[in-house]
Amino acid sequence: MATVQDRPLQGRHILLGITGSIAAYKAAMLCRLLKREGAEVQVVMTQLAKQFITPLTMATLSRRPILVEFFDPENGQWNSHVSLGEWADCYLIAPATANTLAKMAGGVADNLLLTTYLSARCPVMVAPAMDLDMYAHYTTQRNLEELAQHGVAIIEPNSGELASGLEGKGRMAEPEEIVEALKAHFSEKKKPLTDRHFVVTAGATIEPIDPVRYITNHSSGKMGYAIAGELARAGARVTLVSGRTELPVPAGVERVDVLTAEEMYEATTKAFAEADGGVMCAAVADYTPREVAASKIKKSDEGDLTLTLRRTKDIAATLGAEKGGRVLVGFALETDNEQAHAEEKLAKKHFDFVVLNSLRDAGAGFRGDTNKVTFVDAAGSEELPLLSKQEVAVRIVERIVKILSK
Ligand code: PMT
């Protein structure tokens, strides 16, 4: 007898979005296969998609009325994009045209299929279908990358003969392949931080003195980026508030770019309000120039130049004061009296634990690919050997998972 494991789509609510591509004819077979796997299928089509496959065909196969417009002009019945998004366990857009992908990446919501995308809280998968040059075009590739960075799963198109007669990559994946991708998605073991949202700060802030000069520090962002990537791999939604860096955004992570400590404060407190926790890895300026000169400060042949600096807001302390039941992890970068300073920060900023790194340890701290850290919490300390920043990130995430599972 078939078990739930064998039939991961049994009883799942699949919202099937169909856009105006010649590959729309494959949506009929796709719908059939999904139904055969025991899924409930609700079809949403664009106006153009109706030119390629009839609503009657899709309604017959899905055994549900097809939704195209925001409301039915006959009886005024409202098709709520919010309810559709809530109903769905997965929103699968197949075929997804270059036009729809561009609109999704740009937040355009000019039809029911797109507004539903904007309000969907469930996982979203797209199966692109288009001509090879459209697929290879930098705008399409940029849009796909953007969507993937925000967690949309891309079911890669195949290479082969295209409707245009040309040969190349752009053919929508076959219905059987799409169903396999969905099955794999639903049979994946639940990751430990699925449904959790974390905010990570990373990198150095930049405090302008005048249009030419600024105050900063040596943070490259590597440690924070490794943590963000590891949290995402553990299933969390991650908002990475990042100072200036050349590093690529880790897969599945949403990055917010900031420059100054004030901007980092604004972005982090905003994201933390809706998060389950935070990891404060950024090297934030503690002081910023009181005045930023509007034009370049000219040197004078005599005397010193005095800059007056004022305190910045302490982001971690602010979050700590209002953290409630959330997890908050802090760093302590020290050069002396390490343990005492880390313990002080643990208490003062209400961290669950502090990741202490000291510039006295070889291979620790800024820029390199390794770090040597000690975890400090209310129960004591755990010293780790010299590890790659990636491995340190894994250990941090393991600790977070343990705290959340208590
Ligand atoms: O980016 P890399 O090159 O990989 O280097 C990694 C690192 C050395 C920057 C990282 O391992 C590290 O130690 N980050 C914290 C650096 C720091 O500013 O530590 P701190 O001891 O000054 O601050 C204590 C804590 O308060 C930190 O969590 C810090 O992010 C936070 N803080 C500090 C000041 C401020 N205004 N707001 C804050 O949130």
Does residue 235 sit in the same domain as residue 312?
yes
Q: Which two tokens stand for residue 79?
A: 């098709």
The domain in which residue 62 lies consists of 13-187
Looking at every residue in the chain, the average pLDDT score rounds to 94
What's the gap in Å between 392 CA and the centre of ligand 1?
Answer: 15
Q: Determine how β-strand 327-334 pairs with β-strand 353-358.
A: parallel
| pLDDT greater than 70 at residue 302 | yes
Same domain for 218 and 138? no
Quote the ligand 1 centre to 174 CA distance (angstroms): 49
The CATH number linked to 81 is 3.40.50.1950
pLDDT over threshold 70, residue 375: yes
Are residues 166 and 266 located together in one domain of the fold? no
Tokens of 30: 């796709």
Annotated catalytic residue: which of 99, 111, 158, 217?
A: 217
Supply the CATH number for residue 331's domain: 3.40.50.10300
Question: Is 217 tagged catalytic?
Answer: yes
Quickly list H helices, 152-275.
Answer: 175-187, 222-233, 261-272
Q: Which of 54-63, 97-106, 228-237 has the lowest mean pLDDT?
A: 228-237
pLDDT reading at 188 higher than 70: no
Could you say which of 126, 152, 187 is where a domain stops?
A: 187
The closest residue, in CA terms, to atom 8 on ligand 1 is 365
Q: Are residues 286 and 201 in the same domain?
A: yes
Ligand 1 nearest atom to the CA of residue 282, by list position: 30
At 2, the pLDDT band (50, 70, 90 cuts) reads very low
Query: Hey, what's the torsion of the CAs at 226, 232, 237, 243, to 10 degrees?
Result: 20
Last residue of a domain, one of 142, 169, 187: 187
Q: Are residues 153 and 229 in the same domain?
A: no
Residue-wise pLDDT tens digits, 61-115: 999 999 999 887 777 778 888 888 889 999 999 999 999 999 999 999 999 999 9
Q: How many domains does the chain have?
A: 2
What was the pLDDT predicted at 6? 62
Inform me whether the pLDDT recorded for 1 exceeds 60: no
Choose from 4-18, 97-111, 153-167, 174-188 the range with maximum mean pLDDT.
Answer: 97-111
Percent of the chain at pLDDT above 90?
83
Say if 38 falls within a structural domain.
Answer: yes
Is there a contact between 13 and 89 (Cβ–Cβ < 8 Å)?
A: yes
User: What angle is formed at CA 380 by the lines to CA 320 and CA 324, rounded to 5 degrees?
Assistant: 20
- Tell me which of 124, 159, 187 is where a domain ends: 187
Q: Are residues 166 and 241 in the same domain?
A: no
pLDDT greater than 50 at residue 3: no
- Name every residue whose Cβ is closer than 8 Å to that of residue 220 and which is 6 or more positions away in sequence: 203, 204, 245, 247, 366, 367
4 has a pLDDT exceeding 50? no
Confidence of residue 141 (pLDDT cuts 50, 70, 90): very high
